[in-house]
Amino acid sequence: MRSPLRHLWLVLLALLTLGAAPLRAADAAPPSGHWKGAIELPTGKLEIDVDLAADAAGGWKGDISIPVQGVKDMALVDVSVSGAAVGFRMPGVPGEPRFAGELSADGSTLAGTFSQGGATLRFSLARGDSPSATARQALVGLDPALEKALADFEVPGLGLAVVRGGEVVYTKGLGLRDREKKLPVTADTLFAIGSTTKAMTSTLLGMLADEGKLEWDVPVRRYLPWFALKDPALSERLTVRDLVTHRSGLPRHDLLWYNQNEISRRALVERIAHLDLTADLREKFQYNNLMYATAGYLAGELGGSSWEELIRARLFAPLGMQRTNLSVLDSERDADHALPYDQKEGALVRIPFRRIDLVGPAGSVNSSASEMARWLLFNLAGGKVGDRQLVQRSTLADIHAAHMVSGGPAERPEILPIGYGHGWSIDAYRGHRRVSHGGGIDGFITMVTLFPDDDLGIVSFVNAGVGLPDSVNNTVADRVLALEPVDWLGQALAKRKAGQAASDAAAKKKDAVRVQGTRPSHPLADYAGDYAHPGYGALKVDVADSKPGATGLAFTLNGIRTPLEHWHYDVWNGAKAADETFEHTKLLFRGDVAGQVAAVEARFDALAPAVVFDKRPPARLFDPAVLASFVGRYQFPNAVAEVTLSGATLKLTVPGQPTYTLMPDVSGRFHLKEVPIIGAGFVEEAGKVVKLLTYQPDGVYEAKRIE
């Protein structure tokens, strides 16, 4: 990659040489501080920032930034101060660029000549407040506006951190982390940061790429040969970059993992092979947490440990994020953590923590304003912490760059969407390049915002399911960047109230799509049972009330039990429950030609086809003791059939015919694997099997047990 400073050198060599101004010898104030100005080019001004300071040895040190060239805080050498004369040099750049200037009598300006490769140009710098000092001043008086927003939005607490110019300029907690105990939010209060975790996972992959352990644009199957999507062609083509840019063709399917804490992360990734795709590879942007779970699992495999171990060792430890953790279970053990809240029937109530460790790489990190400030500084410094370059600057720039068009027109003229990077959304905010990402999990909302060209980073989080942080970050950005104020908080409040009113009105009309006067086609007990899908796992249906005359069912998925109310025909609706995840979800029970309830389907993803869970046969048909009781010889009118047990499978042998395998059926009987249209059942009397029945299209055939 061509150095931007080399490009600068080539430009300057093409310019006409200008005469140097004589230096003044008048006394002036020391040049310590921040200087901002430009090198005068015939084609315009090249803006630069310079910081100068005395060092411990009695000499001078400094750094230079050239925003348009992407140069940030480059260390200067040969910094000299003699009276009003000030000089310094940029190391490692062709043409030996050198500045020689003189302080004005009042010490407010530094002007002189810039020379490089034989070209000599004028430069002029003005002493001013550092970006960090300017930002601190801009944020004076912010707190009352935030406190009002907390009250207006009915949000218990807020954590906020702002960094500018390589410094933390604001960290604070407002409101309450625990309403019941009246405990305040502090700058160290832990919040769930949700999907802003994704950028951390992408950065881990970037580190592995720097080490040659992965390539972004090669198929995932090079590293995980068993990985598969439902479409075999896509399985072969999907790359690592596709995982982290939401362009896999897979919709969210979030209810597969939501509240699921019983399976391993590898088992979760294996289930992806059974999920419906809704687009071709790289055809459209479809946000997907499962792909990030896969990316984190891949990082652990390539790093020789796990995602959890890698992120602690490769990011949290060097960044000094000592209390940042990977599970709400750890947050609950911490002395300073925020409790989650949400609106329920118009009132703010505390809700349980939602554990999402299974998809940790997509969103399980919990952190504080103080520690997330370190993450902001790391990103704005190009992947560097102190003297350590944790990830190559070019790699991080690639992570911050758009790789997928996210689609959709601009909602506001001030904000122009550009695309999605690796765990970051990229847009133009009021003329400033912005790299940001939101995060939300039960009772917590987070927004992380970077303005790389302005060396500004903002993070805010609230402990309620309210989208306030986005407006908070916009308000902070307008202040620090000295933009014409926009009432982001007021506009968001008005939008929220309008949304609530529309939702209330819609709820009153929900019966408009319900067919009145219908009833289920089966007794309640027929719907009860265990159902399964190879991707979503097990779904259990039971009669909600065991008392005689019960009129409702309930279903359980991933440990979430939801009562069902009859909607119409064989459709049931998720009713009000302690866990609202499946409220208003419709379940359709499907029968087979034998009149049995054989499956249930539900549309768990708005974009994907309904998920069909097949009903599992009764558990007793898999019990070895029960199967053994069926073994014997049975007399048909024209032949003797023999039932044997091979391992845990029944076999049926009829003279002159191939041996048949008896497969358990939802009817409580069996069917012939080789001829599924034929069923088989056993009749018991007084605890003993006395008959074998075969159910065929033309009738039911009976064979008495003879031994």
- Tens of pLDDT, residue by residue over 300-352, are 999 999 999 999 999 999 999 999 999 999 999 999 999 999 998 888 999 99
Ranges of beta strands (E only) in 299-376 are: 341-344, 347-350, 366-367
- Per-residue pLDDT tens over the stretch 585-600: 999 999 998 899 999 9
pLDDT-derived band at 408, boundaries 50, 70, 90 = confident
Strand partners for 615: 531
CA distance 647 to 631: 12
3-class state of residue 216 by DSSP: coil
CB 622, CB 648: distance < 8 Å: yes
The backbone torsions φ and ψ at residue 170, rounded to the nearest 5 degrees and listed phi first, read -160, 125
Question: What pLDDT score was predicted for residue 547?
Answer: 57
One-letter identity of residue 640: V
3-class state of residue 591 by DSSP: strand
Residues 6+ apart with CB under 8 A from 258: 356, 558, 560, 581
pLDDT in the model for residue 509:
83
**Cβ burial 380-394 (10 Å sphere, 16+ → b, else e):** bbbbbeeeeebbbee
Q: Which residue in this structure is represented by tokens 């005395």?
A: 54
- Nearest CA-CA partner of 455 in 51, 6, 58, 14: 51
- Quote the pLDDT of residue 549: 53
> Contact 52/28 with Cβ under 8 angstroms?
no
Q: Which domains does the chain have, with CATH numbers?
A: 4-128 (2.40.128), 142-502 (3.40.710.10), 515-615 (2.40.128.50), 619-705 (2.40.128)
Angle between helices 488-507 and 469-480 (to 10 degrees): 160
**What's the whole-number mean pLDDT along residues 396-405?**
96
- Banded model confidence at residue 546, pLDDT cuts 50, 70, 90: low
Residue 24 reports pLDDT greater than 80: no
What whole-number distance in Å separates Cα of residue 77 and Cα of residue 88? Answer: 6
Q: What confidence score (pLDDT) does residue 73 get?
A: 84
Residues present in the chain in total: 707
Element (H, E) at 232: helix 232-237
643 to 85, 567, 652, 696: CA distances (angstroms):
105, 45, 5, 18
Element (H, E) at 145: helix 142-153
CA angle 281, 282, 287 (to 5 degrees): 95
- pTM, two decimals, is 0.87
Per the prediction, the chain carries an average pLDDT of 92
161-175: per-residue pLDDT in tens? 999 999 999 999 999
68 has pLDDT over 90:
no
- The rounded distance, in Å, linking the Cα atoms of 430 and 297 is 38
